[in-house]
């Protein structure tokens, strides 16, 4: 016997039963489970990056449980339920994929010999998304080309999306050279703000502003280089962690305590570790 999505919905309703449910689940709200949702999404990404597919199945289940939880809250509040979420999603995807569902129905199919090219698909996708943003902004709020980019995204991911959206409408550098120039300009401005703060003639907010500008330009640089900045930083984090742990192993073998070592001694081991990495890569 295999359980179904209906069984999962029943289980969720039982967990939220005010009389016989789980005390922890009955205390939760939309706001309180958001951190768990974000954590589960990152754990899915981590399992994929590690190629751990048995674990990925488990993590995807945990992420699905988050959706079921929100659906139960929505049903209790009279906003929506799981079926309404699915219905809305299917309708949206049918609308966004006329190159697959030409009549906007699941039964409609595109003639394989007359499939639209990639340029048409991209233009159609952007046009439909723009129409959706306009519909969402049909109230008193002014419509912006930046609408729909979630504020809750990690700052680096949101910066890239903001830049890509602006670039799509012509607000972008024509080539990469000015981005490098801007990078050096922002470094100089950060140094100036730091010196001013250290001397008491400036404040920390200015330093934070300038550092934010520098990071924003770094994201722009990554975009021009077609490098995912989040992935690049993850690789550097992994590299730093690996080298730091290697230093710890060297010191442990020699019976030395890192806290007692000078920076020069630690850096010497760091450089040695890097040398071993280069030899491994060349070998």
DSSP state of 114: G
For 176-195, what is the mean pLDDT? Answer: 96
At 118 the pLDDT is 85
Q: Please give the Cα distance from 233 to 231 (Å, whole number).
A: 5
Q: Give the separation between CA 40 and CA 34, rounded to whole angstroms.
A: 10
pLDDT of residue 283: 67
**H helix runs in the chain, sequence order:** 5-15, 23-27, 30-49, 53-77, 82-96, 118-136, 155-168, 177-198, 204-224, 229-253, 263-282
Alpha-carbon distance of 3 to 64, in angstroms, equals 14
Residue 219's nearest CA partner among 158, 174, 146, 165 is 158
As a whole number of angstroms, the distance between CA 79 and CA 93 comes to 21
Residue 232 has pLDDT above 60, yes or no: yes
Residue labelled with tokens 């939309």:
30
Q: Residue 141 — very low, low, confident or very high, per pLDDT cuts 50/70/90?
A: low
Cβ atoms 165, 146 nearer than 8 A: yes
Structure token digits, residue 246:
């290697």
Q: How far is CA 222 from the centre of its chain?
A: 15
- On whether the CB atoms of residues 162 and 149 are closer than 8 A, the answer is yes
Count of C-beta atoms within a 10 Å radius of residue 48 = 14
Full-model pTM:
0.66
| Encoded tokens for 239 | 């590299």
* Tens digits of residue pLDDT in 188-217: 999 999 999 999 888 889 999 999 999 999
Backbone φ/ψ region at 2: left (φ over 0), alpha (ψ -120 to 50), beta: beta
As a whole-number percent, the residues of the chain with pLDDT over 90 amount to 71
Total Cβ atoms within 10 A of residue 59: 19
For the stretch 71-97, what's the b/e string if a residue is b when 16 or more beta carbons lie within 10 angstroms of its beta carbon? bbbbbeeeeebbeeeeeeeeeeebeeb
**Residue 72 and residue 209: Cα distance in Å, rounded?**
41
**Residues 34, 36, 37, 42, Cα dihedral to 10°:** 130
- In contact, 227 and 218? CB cutoff 8 Å: no
Which token pair is 261? Answer: 């070592």
Residue 43's pLDDT is what?
93
Can you tell me which residue has the tokens 């069984």?
Answer: 7
Question: Is 90 exceeded by the pLDDT of residue 277?
Answer: no
The tens digit of pLDDT for each residue in 54-105 reads: 999 999 999 999 999 999 999 999 999 999 999 999 999 999 999 999 898 9
């Amino acid at each position: 016997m295999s359980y179904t999505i209906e069984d999962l919905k029943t289980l969720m309703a039982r967990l939220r039963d005010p009389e016989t449910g789980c005390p922890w689940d009955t205390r939760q709200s939309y706001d309180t489970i958001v951190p768990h949702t974000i954590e589960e999404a990152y754990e899915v990404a981590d399992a994929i990056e590690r190629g751990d597919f048995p674990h990925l199945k488990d993590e995807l289940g945990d992420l699905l449980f988050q959706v079921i939880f929100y659906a139960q809250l929505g049903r209790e509040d009279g906003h929506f339920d799981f079926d309404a979420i699915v219905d809305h999603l299917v309708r949206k995807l049918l609308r966004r994929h006329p190159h697959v569902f030409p009549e906007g129905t699941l039964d409609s199919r595109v003639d394989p010999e007359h499939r639209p090219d990639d340029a048409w698909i991209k233009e159609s996708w952007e046009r439909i998304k723009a129409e959706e943003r306009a519909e969402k902004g049909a109230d008193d709020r002014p419509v912006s080309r930046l609408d729909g980019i979630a504020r809750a995204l990690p700052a680096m991911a949101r910066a890239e999306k903001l830049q890509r959206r602006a670039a799509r409408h012509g607000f972008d550098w024509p080539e990469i050279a000015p981005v490098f120039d801007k990078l050096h300009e922002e470094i100089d401005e950060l140094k100036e703000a730091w010196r001013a703060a250290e001397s008491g003639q400036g404040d920390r907010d200015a330093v934070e502003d300038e550092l934010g500008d520098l990071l924003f330009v770094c994201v722009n640089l990554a975009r021009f280089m077609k490098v995912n900045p989040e992935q690049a930083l993850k690789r550097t984090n992994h590299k730093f962690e690996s080298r730091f742990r290697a230093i710890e192993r060297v010191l442990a073998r020699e019976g030395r305590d890192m806290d007692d070592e000078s920076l020069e001694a630690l850096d010497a081991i760091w450089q040695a570790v890097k040398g071993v990495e280069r030899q491994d890569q060349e070998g």
